[in-house]
Amino acid sequence: MDINKISDIANGMREDIVEMCYRLGNNAAHLGGCMSLVELLAVLYYGHLRFDINDLKSEFRDRVIMSKGQGSIAMYSAMHRVGIIKNLSEVGSLLGERNIYYKQTVRNINYGIEFSSGSLGQGLAYAVGIAWALKKKNNNTSKVYIVLGDGECDEGSVWEAASLAGHLKLDNIVVLVDRNNLQIDGFTCTINRMNMMEERWSAFGFNAVTIDGHNISEIDRALSFTSHGKPYAVIADTIKGKGISFAENEAEWHQNVLTDELYKKAMLEIRGNNYDAL
């Protein structure tokens, strides 16, 4: 794993995300929850995800399920940085009838999108179905990666699906929990305290580990682990809005509007003195 290369990709992703969020104009963007995902998705897409860029529908591809739909823009950036999306101009305005890439994902496997997001708590059940089908087809190489938010784990459907995944011993499932400690209404600990997250996943039959979700080496080690006979959960401790001072650990940036001034401030912080203000 080339840590410097991944770090460069992560920095580029933060620029991409700000650009796409700014492009939404007065339609509030999910800036905070995208920024917390950057390193996780950079390491996953660049270092671990198996796919054929010339055949995104290959039966033997790995699947990424963005159950945390508010992280979709971060996923588009990761896809762009590894060449699945050739140019971010393809993404357009993220809104509109003819778009492929929306503010939240709409399934289109021709373009590398496996899942329609929006309603939280649905993705793990979908992933369990895919993982079980792959087992039935004797596909023992493909993995199903599912991205959850820690606030999303309030949903009972998450734990119903986790129970089934553990019961079926679906060791081709890798759950990535973005634990940034915030959700739309505030801090997760005050809304529904979800402590002992690693122990919870273990109780449902998963191998589970907790890592620093912004440490590239830790992420790489976690994703290199082979979970024989059990599904696998990676609980990644992250910072909502990571990299942008006015958005870090601020619930209001779960979904908010990037004004011209805030756009310039965000780019200045990401690029440093190399940024020429518009």
CATH of the domain at 225: 3.40.50.970
Give me the mean pLDDT over the 196-203 stretch. Answer: 94
Judge whether 160 and 153 are in contact, CB under 8 Å.
no
| Helix (DSSP H) and strand (DSSP E) numbers for the chain | 10, 7
Instruction: Please tell me the total count of domains within the chain.
Output: 1
pLDDT at residue number 277: 46
83 dihedral zone (left: phi>0; alpha: psi -120 to 50; beta)? left
pLDDT at residue number 278: 43
- Whole-model pTM: value is 0.94
Asked if residue 278 belongs to a domain, the reply is no
How does pLDDT run across 247-272, given as a tens digit for each residue?
998 888 888 999 999 999 999 999 88
How does pLDDT run across 76-101, given as a tens digit for each residue?
999 999 999 998 888 888 987 778 99
pLDDT at residue number 186: 57
Asked if residue 259 belongs to a domain, the reply is yes
pLDDT at residue number 43: 98
pLDDT at residue number 210: 97
Pairing relation of β-strands 144-149 and 186-187? unpaired
Provide the domain limits for residue 32.
Answer: 3-273
Q: Which helix (H) or strand (E) holds 199?
A: helix 197-203
How does pLDDT run across 99-145, given as a tens digit for each residue?
899 999 999 999 999 999 988 999 999 999 999 999 999 999 999 99
Judge whether 36 and 242 are in contact, CB under 8 Å.
yes
pLDDT band for 15, please (50, 70, 90 cuts): very high
Give me the mean pLDDT over the 223-241 stretch. Answer: 96
Give me the mean pLDDT over the 189-209 stretch. Answer: 88
Amino acid residing at 17? I
CB neighbour burial string for 50-82, b if at least 16 within 10 angstroms, e if fewer: ebeeeebeeeebbbbbbbbbbbbbbbbbbbbbb
